[in-house]
């Protein structure tokens, strides 16, 4: 929402709950509870049916991000109603310790710093209300929730460190995201998008989504509606894929057919020719590869009509987890291959993202390409009814 310099929105009520975070400018919000002067970083909730008015008092246009729940329905004439003005009192600033502004709060960059959470740096007594949730390179600070008076939605700030990752998951609720700082790679039902400051995205109920920070910290404002249930608010793909691996199913086999080694530089053309021979020999569905190391080879295969597909980032982390699950459940047959065994024994688990992991080298000169290829093959072999018979990597 925007309010130009000197502008006002007269007193009115809504048939929906309104949560807001002032992004820029300065306004006075008048409600029966208080007359509050808001500045950038302030946030609050206006419950259903509460009279309120907005008045710009700054020297720049006021802008605020808001969530309206349930959504407005102006076409049905029960959305917003003009009502008599409320008497305005002397404006007060948002004060976390003042009960007169109990429906409001303020958030700054310092609130997202895990190192600044000790009592002497907090405005109020340390509690769940002041808590900063920190996990796997991600920090989350709740802003508007039931404690502030909201009942239909929530608003919070999220910050990802450069290595912050959230694996594929979905919810029984809707989410929206407004990027404030940094860049993030996001996936929504398999569709990838690079989001930058000012970009917005929405994930509906059941939309599988995931995020990965791009090179620097990224911060965004996030909303959810309805509020999270007490249980089963998250459904992570990797947890249910793990179950599918634990259950009895068809076994599959990974065979290391060929390896390439050149201490100087691999010949992309020669590799592509060798792969093409394997594709012609077997009923290959696709060639999986890492874009970081084999994109040039994949580019040579595409003109020949050979289907290629990269596995990197979140997909690679997932494939590593699937490989371990397939070995543990004995679905994967891999014995009698000394070289492949050497590659697997040379690999080590490295932390990655939201509780995940990837395979890395135990030592810098270790060769683990066979293990990496096995993980990629497992990624497709463990998919339900995907019809993939052989994958050449």
User: What is the helix, strand, coil percentage profile of the chain, to 5?
Assistant: 25, 35, 40
**CATH code that applies to domain 1-104:** 2.60.120.10
**CATH code that applies to domain 242-392:** 3.30.420
- Does domain 107-233 sit in CATH 2.60.120.10? yes
Neighbouring-strand partners of residue 253: 333
Structure tokens at 279: 């594709």
Closest CA to 354 of 119, 113, 74, 165: 165
pLDDT in tens, 335-357: 778 899 999 999 999 988 777 78
Q: What is the rounded CA–CA span in Å between residue 88 and residue 65?
A: 24
In this predicted structure, what is the pLDDT of residue 334? 75
Which helix (H) or strand (E) is 329 found in, with range? none
Closest CA to 189 of 200, 202, 176: 202
pLDDT in tens, 318-331: 999 989 888 887 78
pTM of the model: 0.69
pLDDT, greater one: 254 or 119: 254
C-alpha pair distances (Å), 211 with each of 125, 354, 383:
33, 10, 22
Report the SS3 class of residue 40.
Answer: coil
DSSP one-letter code for 173: S
In this predicted structure, what is the pLDDT of residue 1? 93
Are 293 and 311 spatial neighbours (Cβ–Cβ below 8 Å)? no
Report, as an integer, the average pLDDT of 97-103.
Answer: 88
So where are the chain's domains? 1-104, 107-233, 242-392
Structure tokens at 238: 């990797």
Topology alike, domains 107-233 and 242-392: no
Q: What is the mean pLDDT of the chain?
A: 88
Q: What is the rounded CA–CA span in Å between residue 323 and residue 168?
A: 17
């Amino acid at each position: 929402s925007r309010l130009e310099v000197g502008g006002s929105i007269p007193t009115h009520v809504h048939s929906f709950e309104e949560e807001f975070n002032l992004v820029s400018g300065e306004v006075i919000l008048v409600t029966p509870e208080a007359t509050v002067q808001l500045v950038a970083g302030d946030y609050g909730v206006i419950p259903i049916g509460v009279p309120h008015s907005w008045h710009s008092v700054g020297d720049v246009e006021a802008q605020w991000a808001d969530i309206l729940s349930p959504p407005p329905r102006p076409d049905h004439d029960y959305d917003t109603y003009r009502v008599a003005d409320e008497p305005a009192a002397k404006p007060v600033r948002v004060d976390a310790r003042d009960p007169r502004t109990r429906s409001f709060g303020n958030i700054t960059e310092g609130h997202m710093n895990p190192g600044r959470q000790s009592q002497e740096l907090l405005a109020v007594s340390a509690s769940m209300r002041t808590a900063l949730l920190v996990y796997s390179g991600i920090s989350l600070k709740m802003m508007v929730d039931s404690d502030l008076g909201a009942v239909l939605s929530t608003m919070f700030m999220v910050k990802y460190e450069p290595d912050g990752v959230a694996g594929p998951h979905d919810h029984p609720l809707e989410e929206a995201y407004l990027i404030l700082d940094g860049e993030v790679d996001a996936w929504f039902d398999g569709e990838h998008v690079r989001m930058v400051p000012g970009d917005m995205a929405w994930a509906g109920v059941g939309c599988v989504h995931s995020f990965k920070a791009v090179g620097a910290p990224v911060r965004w404002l996030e909303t959810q509606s309805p509020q999270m249930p007490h249980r089963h608010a998250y459904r992570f793909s990797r947890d249910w894929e793990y179950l599918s691996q634990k259950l009895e199913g068809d076994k599959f086999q990974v065979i290391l057919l060929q390896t390439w080694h050149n201490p100087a530089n691999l010949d992309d053309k020669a590799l592509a020719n060798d792969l093409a021979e394997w594709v012609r020999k077997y009923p290959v569905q696709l060639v999986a590869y890492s874009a970081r190391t084999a994109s040039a080879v994949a580019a040579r295969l595409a003109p020949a009509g050979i289907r290629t597909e990269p596995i990197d980032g979140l997909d690679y982390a997932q494939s590593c987890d699937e490989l371990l699950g397939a070995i543990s459940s004995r679905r994967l047959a891999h014995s009698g291959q000394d070289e492949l065994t050497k590659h697997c024994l040379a690999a080590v688990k490295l932390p990655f993202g939201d509780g995940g992991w990837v395979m890395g080298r135990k030592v810098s000169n270790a060769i683990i390409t066979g293990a990496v290829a096995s993980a990629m093959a497992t990624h497709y072999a463990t998919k339900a009814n995907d019809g993939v018979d052989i994958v050449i990597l």
